[in-house]
């Protein structure tokens, strides 16, 4: 979860940007050609939209799958061929969310191998069955990882310490949100949703894909390559439930053999693109402390309180240490994870492509608050390394067996970049106004 | 603030013995006897605290930077306007400060009037914060600026009047130290004053800010009381000792500007290029130290104030050294290069900023001791007032403009580029001082002579005159 903090009573906006896969090559990263399709081949709009984007390189492909069925999830699959496709099986029945389908099993046949994807929607929509989504050919999958936005937590920071030890309000479960249809424009997709209980405020995610290197347009202006995607997340008009509310957003990462397991913070002297921020945080999946990074989620520890922020709209963003998580719990909230990652005991993978054993970690992002001229309230604390947010305990998830192919992928890296959350700061606590805040993070 | 103090302390005793010291008519306790040292020490105490209030309140925005920005919803450029508006009146007033004290008000009334301006300005500033009206705060800073610089002129005039002779350099040094003490105390306590007030008021906000600034205004009130007491003591001493009212002795004629020699213009460039890399940086420094070096707010304020803390004791010491060795241009070069190194350290490394800021404090003191006396070497005495007035005027103009530019740069491009900008300003000063060295060398000028050589020349000139 990533946490967003609010300063005062009022509408809260937060944006998170999530980057997706980035390939770490020695030298210049190559451009890719990005092809996007929405709900490919679905006979009728499914309960949650599925966006499939293929970033095709010379001899490899990155598949980005963004799904709003359950908790919003971004899945990245890296294959070693330019011709891989995604096959989705959906099963719709009355035990899942209300839908307009008749219960059926429907998998579209592979009509044309070169089509972008064939979707078997019947099995996909059935959250009780795994294997609804596959990447064909399965042997070409080198690496896969996913990030799930699970929950939005809120707590009342009475002592203004930005330390969520006080009682948390009932969390917003993103899997229970009513999500809008994915809004595509160019290489960007926008997804907004609000709680079923009230229509006050919404949480939006905007996924951007890139064909070439560049830098984000909005603060914190993270650098991207053709191998990354960026995800901006923001809260728009969400009413805080206390005077000193702070929000936490929970991110869960799922990976087959090596999920993202540790967070590194890099310091730099350069704050040209993000004034007054000198750090970049990366949640990486590294092989046993080696320096080879397979995938990462990258963000700058800042959140902005305005859609078009100025320097003083910045609020610090902290993260917790990643903690192991039950893969089963993650699969239960996210349809995409359930579909792609098979049950641990069902597959017994060993050397299978990509390693689709379910291993998960979760991370909390908390945005801070400038008080008394500092980030950290009354005392100086380092960024929340090792901070335990004391939510219900997780069982350890196994790392799964490492696929042989992963060892060869030493120069390819998947990166997920998460941008920080922006907050709407009220000028007058009695007159909240709705302002759209966005936060982006990309390095 | 203006370095009027620094330059006066190194010019030494300028005034002639003008008082007809006829002594008291009847015996009185030593402390009440204006000619007695003990009484003059009492007067010295009041004189030092005369400037304390204005130096304390000058850097209030820097000490409360994040609070001001947050509570009033400003951006950095607007925040720096608070410093710019202080400097604007002094672009013009520097010429007229001496004139007003000499011809218009007299020293006693002039001091009280300027103290009143300082006090009222700070109160308006605090009221603007209380009512959340930024324009009113700018007006307050403007009024504060009218009083602040001229008060420094008055303070020095008092010092010359009461302490001419051997004690004058010490008095100037003490006055400067008190000024720096005021700045330091401000940097270190205003943060906690704000927190306490915020707890009292209920929550942080512009009301808490206004209340904190009003508390700071009490130091200005204290300075006003000192001005009144000084006026009373001065009038009493005049009656008892039958001495003349003090005068600044400055004559300002604007037409003299066209006669300024090239070395003087180079000195002006050094002055502007150097000081714009110091004061705006201190104004914006707190957040820099918090963000880049992970300091706590209290630590950041402390390291920000180290420049002032160091210059308080270092100025007299370095002044003494420069007086003894001469070679002002070399010292200026050393000071400028050291400042450049300090800024580069802060910009491009993660080394402990205490080192860089201490270097900054030392070089700032050294430059003040070495630069301002050079003006006296290049212009004749009857143009000295105009030259100093002009130098302060463009210094304030430069500070006003660069303060706003610094805020704009920070808002758009961040601290690294801001530091690079400051390094560029210091480089301009460096180029000017190197040029000055060569110009002076080629003209066989006086600026870089050692003190011994200078003394010899003076003796020769005196013996020739006989």
The domains of chain B are located at 34-240+258-459
Give pLDDT, residue A126.
63
Give pLDDT, residue A277.
87
This model of the complex carries an ipTM of: 0.72
Could you tell me the CA-to-CA distances from A198 to A2, A247, B310 in Å, in that order? 21, 18, 60
Q: What average pLDDT score do residues A368-390 get?
A: 27
Q: CB–CB of A373 and B417 under 8 A? A: no
Give pLDDT, residue A290.
64
Contact residues, chain A, for B406 at CB < 8 Å: none
Residues 6+ apart with CB under 8 A from B464: none
> A357 falls in which pLDDT band (50, 70, 90)?
low
In this prediction the pTM is: 0.74
Q: What average pLDDT score do residues A107-115 get?
A: 34
Q: Where are the beta strands (DSSP E) in A16-132?
A: 16-17, 33-38, 50-56, 61-67, 73-79, 85-88, 90-92, 104-106, 117-119
Over 50: is that where the pLDDT of B22 sits? no
Give pLDDT, residue B115.
94
Give pLDDT, residue B223.
93
Over 50: is that where the pLDDT of A55 sits? yes
Over 80: is that where the pLDDT of A240 sits? no
Contact residues, chain B, for A371 at CB < 8 Å: 204
Residue A251's nearest CA partner among A192, A331, A320 is: A320
The domains of chain A are located at 2-22+149-425, 33-142
Of A68-77, A272-281, B30-39, the one with minimum mean pLDDT is: B30-39
Nearest CA in chain A to B295: A380
Nearest CA in chain A to B191: A372
Percent of chain A with pLDDT over 70: 55
B69: nearest CB among A277, A312, A427? A312
> B354 falls in which pLDDT band (50, 70, 90)?
very high
Chain B interface residues (partner A, CB cutoff 8 A) = 64-67, 69-70, 73-76, 191, 194-195, 204, 286-288, 290-292, 294-297, 299-301, 347-350, 410-417
> B442 falls in which pLDDT band (50, 70, 90)?
very high
The three state secondary structure string of B155-184 is HHHHHHHHHCCCHHHHHHHHHHHHHHHHHH
Higher pLDDT, A28 or A293: A293
Q: CB–CB of B411 and A310 under 8 A? A: yes
Give pLDDT, residue A200.
73
Give pLDDT, residue B93.
87
> A30 falls in which pLDDT band (50, 70, 90)?
confident
> A343 falls in which pLDDT band (50, 70, 90)?
low
Chain A segment 274-293 residues within 8 A of B by beta carbon are 274-278
Give pLDDT, residue B231.
92
Higher pLDDT, A282 or B426: B426
Over 80: is that where the pLDDT of B130 sits? yes
Among the ranges A156-170, B5-19, B332-346, which has the highest mean pLDDT value?
B332-346
Is the Cβ of A269 closer than 8 Å to some Cβ of chain B?
yes
> A108 falls in which pLDDT band (50, 70, 90)?
very low
Higher pLDDT, B143 or B12: B143
> A407 falls in which pLDDT band (50, 70, 90)?
very low
Strand A414-418, strand A229-236: pairing:
parallel
Q: What average pLDDT score do residues B55-60 get?
A: 91
Residue A322 has which token pair? 């990643």
Higher pLDDT, A368 or A172: A172
Give tens-digit pLDDT for A302-332: 878 777 777 777 777 778 888 777 777 777 7
Contact residues, chain A, for B347 at CB < 8 Å: 269
Give pLDDT, residue A114.
28
> B132 falls in which pLDDT band (50, 70, 90)?
very high
Q: CB–CB of B297 and A276 under 8 A? A: no
Q: What average pLDDT score do residues A179-207 get?
A: 83
Give pLDDT, residue A109.
39
Over 80: is that where the pLDDT of A438 sits? no
Q: CB–CB of B415 and A375 under 8 A? A: no
Q: Give the gap in angstroms from C-alpha A35 to the nearest C-alpha of chain B.
A: 35
Task: Look up the CATH architecture of domain B34-240+258-459.
Answer: Up-down Bundle (1.20)
On average, the pLDDT of chain B sits at 85
On average, the pLDDT of chain A sits at 63
Give pLDDT, residue A392.
19
Among the ranges A388-397, B127-136, B182-191, B442-451, which has the highest mean pLDDT value?
B127-136
Over 70: is that where the pLDDT of B13 sits? no
Is the Cβ of A75 closer than 8 Å to some Cβ of chain B?
no
Residues 6+ apart with CB under 8 A from A114: A83
Higher pLDDT, B232 or B163: B232
């Amino acid at each position: 979860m990533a946490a967003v903090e609010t300063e005062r009573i009022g509408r809260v906006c937060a944006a998170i940007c999530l980057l997706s896969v980035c390939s770490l090559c020695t030298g210049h990263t190559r451009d890719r050609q990005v092809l996007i399709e929405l709900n490919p081949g679905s006979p009728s709009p499914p309960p949650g939209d599925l966006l499939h984007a293929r970033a095709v390189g010379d001899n490899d492909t990155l598949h980005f799958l963004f799904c709003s069925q359950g908790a919003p999830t971004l899945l990245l699959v890296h294959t070693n061929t330019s011709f891989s496709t995604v096959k989705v099986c959906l099963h719709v029945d009355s035990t899942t969310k209300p839908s307009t389908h008749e219960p059926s099993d429907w998998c579209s046949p592979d009509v044309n191998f070169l089509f972008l994807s064939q979707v078997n929607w019947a099995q996909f929509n059935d959250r009780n069955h795994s294997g609804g989504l596959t990447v064909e050919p399965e042997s070409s999958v080198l690496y896969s990882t996913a990030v799930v936005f699970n929950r939005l937590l809120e707590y009342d920071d009475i002592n203004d310490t930005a330390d969520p030890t006080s009682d948390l309000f009932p969390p917003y479960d993103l899997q229970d949100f009513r999500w809008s249809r994915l809004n595509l424009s160019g290489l960007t997709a926008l997804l907004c949703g609000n709680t079923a209980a009230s229509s006050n405020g919404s949480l939006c995610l905007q996924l951007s894909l890139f064909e070439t290197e560049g830098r984000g347009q909005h603060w914190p202006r993270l650098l991207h390559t053709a191998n990354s995607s960026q995800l901006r997340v923001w809260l728009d008009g969400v009413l805080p439930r206390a005077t000193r509310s702070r929000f936490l957003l929970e991110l869960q990462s799922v990976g087959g053999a090596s999920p993202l397991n540790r967070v590194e913070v890099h310091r730099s002297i350069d704050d040209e693109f993000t004034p007054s921020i000198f750090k970049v945080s990366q949640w990486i999946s590294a092989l046993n402390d080696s320096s080879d990074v397979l995938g990462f989620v990258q963000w700058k520890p800042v959140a902005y309180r305005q859609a078009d922020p100025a320097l003083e709209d910045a609020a610090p963003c902290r993260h917790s240490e990643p903690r192991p998580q039950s893969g089963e719990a993650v699969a239960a909230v996210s349809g995409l994870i359930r579909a792609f990652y098979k049950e641990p005991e069902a597959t017994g993978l060993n050397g299978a492509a990509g390693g689709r054993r379910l291993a998960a970690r979760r991370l909390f992002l908390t945005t801070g608050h400038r008080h008394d001229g500092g980030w950290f309230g009354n005392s100086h604390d380092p960024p929340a390394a090792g901070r335990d947010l004391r939510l219900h305990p997780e069982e350890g998830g196994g790392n799964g067996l490492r696929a042989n192919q992963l060892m060869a992928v030493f120069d390819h890296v998947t990166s997920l970049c998460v941008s920080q959350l922006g907050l709407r700061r009220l000028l007058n606590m009695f007159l909240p106004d709705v302002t759209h805040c966005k936060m982006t993070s990309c390095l | 603030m203006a370095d009027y103090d620094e330059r006066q302390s190194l010019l030494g005793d300028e005034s002639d013995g003008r008082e007809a010291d006829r002594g008291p008519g009847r015996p009185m306790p030593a402390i009440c006897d204006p000619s007695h040292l003990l009484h003059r020490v009492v007067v010295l105490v009041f004189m030092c605290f005369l400037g304390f209030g204005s130096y304390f309140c000058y850097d209030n925005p820097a000490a409360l930077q994040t609070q001001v920005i947050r509570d009033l919803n400003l951006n950095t450029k607007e925040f720096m306007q608070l410093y710019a508006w202080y400097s604007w009146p002094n672009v013009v007033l520097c010429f007229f400060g001496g004139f007003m004290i000499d011809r218009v008000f007299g020293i006693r009334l002039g001091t009280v009037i300027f103290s009143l301006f300082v006090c009222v300005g700070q109160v308006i500033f605090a009221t603007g914060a209380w009512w959340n009206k930024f324009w009113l705060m700018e007006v307050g800073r403007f009024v504060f600026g009218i009083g602040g610089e001229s008060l420094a002129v008055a303070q020095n005039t008092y010092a010359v009047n009461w302490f001419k002779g051997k004690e004058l350099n010490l008095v100037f040094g003490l006055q400067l130290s008190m000024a720096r003490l005021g700045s330091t105390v401000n940097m270190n306590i205003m943060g906690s004053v704000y927190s306490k007030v915020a707890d009292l008021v209920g929550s942080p906000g512009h009301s808490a800010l206004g209340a904190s600034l009003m508390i700071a205004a009490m130091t200005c009130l204290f300075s006003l009381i000192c001005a009144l007491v000084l006026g009373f003591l001065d009038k009493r001493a005049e009656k008892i000792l039958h001495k003349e009212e003090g005068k600044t002795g400055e004559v300002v004629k604007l037409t003299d500007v066209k006669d300024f020699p090239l070395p003087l213009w180079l000195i002006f460039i050094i002055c502007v290029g150097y000081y714009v890399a110091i004061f705006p940086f201190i104004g914006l420094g707190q957040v820099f130290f918090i963000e880049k070096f992970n300091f706590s707010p209290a630590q950041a304020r402390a390291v920000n104030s180290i420049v002032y803390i160091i210059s308080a004791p270092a100025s007299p010491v370095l002044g003494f050294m420069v007086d003894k060795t001469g070679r002002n241009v070399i010292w200026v070069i050393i000071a400028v290069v050291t400042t450049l190194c300090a800024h580069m350290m802060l910009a491009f490394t993660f080394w402990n900023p205490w080192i860089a800021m201490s270097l900054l404090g030392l070089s700032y003191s050294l430059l003040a001791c070495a630069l301002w006396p050079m003006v006296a070497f290049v212009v004749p005495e009857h143009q000295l007032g105009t030259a100093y007035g002009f130098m302060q005027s463009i210094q304030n103009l430069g500070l006003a403009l660069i303060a706003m530019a610094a805020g704009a740069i920070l808002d758009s491009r961040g601290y690294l580029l801001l530091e690079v900008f400051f390094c560029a300003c210091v480089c301009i000063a460096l180029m000017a001082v190197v040029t000055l060295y060569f110009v002076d060398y080629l003209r066989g000028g006086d600026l870089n002579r050692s003190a011994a050589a200078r003394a010899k020349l003076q003796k020769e000139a005196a013996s020739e005159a006989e």
